[in-house]
Structure 1
Amino acid sequence: MTTANNNAPLKGLVLCGGFSTRMHEDKSDIAYHGVPQWQYLVTLLQSFLEEVYVSCRPEQQAHFAAHPLLIPDNVPHGGPSAGLLSAHALQPATAWLIVACDLPLLSRQSLELLIQARNPQKSATSFISPFNDSPEPLIAIWEPGGLQTLQQNVLNGKSCPRKTLLNSDVELLQNPFATEQFNANTPEEKATVLSSLKK
C-alpha cells in the first residue's frame, strides 16, 4: 500500500458514475486504447496502487461486475462529488487518487508526478487546470480532511469539488504534460482524440 509519511493510505478511484449526456454514449466504455476507458484507467492506477476502485451509480453495478472493487454512489444530491463522498463514507481514513473516466490522454507520467508531489498535510494535491488556472479536482489526491470539508460543503448545498479546492489549502502543481488533462465530453472531442492517437 502506498503511504506518505505514515499518513492516510492512498487508494485509487476511477469515477464512472456520470450520465455522459453530451457524449451520447457511456464515456467509460469508449475504447481509446483498445479496451474500455475505465479498464485502461484502472490498469494505469494499478501500476502505482494496490487497491483501485470504480465508482458508479447503483444501477451500473452489473455493468462493472468484472471489477471486484466497486463503490456505488450513495450520497443523495451529491452531484459531481457523489463518487468522492461515497468512497470517503466507505473508508473515511483513506486518501483517494481520483481520476475521471473522461481523460483519454492521461498516462503514467502525470500520475507519477502527482503521487510524488503528494502533500498529506494539505487538503489535496492537485494539478492546475490549463483551461481555467483552477485546481483540477478530478485528477487529484484528496486527503481525508479535504473530503470532510467537501462533505460539509455538499450538506450546505455546495456540491462543486473545484470550489472546495479553491477555498482549501491545496498543494498545486503545474503539469508539464498538461495536454493529458484534456476532458473528452462530446462526439467531436472523441473524434479529435482518436485521430491524435492514431498519429
Structure 2
Amino acid sequence: MVRVGLTTDRLVRAGAELADEVGFDQVTVSALARHFDVKVASLYSHVRNSHDLKTRIALLALAELADRGATALAGRAGKDALAAFADVYRDYAREHPGRYAAAQLRLDPKTAAASAGVRHAELARAVLRGYDLAEPDQTHAVRLLGSVFHGYVSLEMGGGFSHSAPDTQETWTRVVDALDALLRNWPAP
C-alpha cells in the first residue's frame, strides 16, 4: 500500500534534493525508498523505474533553469542579457549540482520536444536579439553559448580551475566579455 503523502511530485522533488546531496548518478528508486523509509514497490505507482525518476528530475531541472532564465532576462538586452543568462547557468550549477547534472540527461525526442529544454533555446535566441545575427549564424551562436557555459561550469565544478590564478569569477567575467565581443563582431562565412 502506498504511504499517505507520497505523490509523484514529492518523490521527484526529493529525488532532485538527493541528486544535489549525493550526485545524480546515485539517484535510484531504491535510494529514494530508503530516503522515505518505504519499500521500493510502494514507489512504483508513482514512477516506473529509476530511468523514469531520472527523466522526471531532468524535466524539473530544465523547468527550474528556464524559469530562472526568463526572470533574469526580463527587461535586459545586449551584454546585460548575455551576462544575466550566463550567470543563471553558473549559479544554478553551483546551487544544485545534481539537478544541473540531471539537466544534461539525454531525453528521447518526444519528451525533449515537450520539455522546458525548448524554452532554453528560445531564451538564448532572446539574448541574441541584442546582436545582429541571422540564420544559420543564430543557431551557431546558440550552440556556442551552450557549449561555453556548460564547458566552463563543468570544468569549474570539477576543480579544474581551483589551483591557479586569476580568480574564477574574474575569468567568468572575461569569458562573458569575450562572448559579447564575438557576438557583436560575428565572423562572415
**Which has the greater radius of gyration?**
2
Q: Higher strand fraction: Structure 1 or Structure 2? A: 1
| Greater share of helix | 2
Give the TM-score, by structure 2 length.
0.27
TM-score of the aligned structures, taking structure 1 as reference length: 0.26
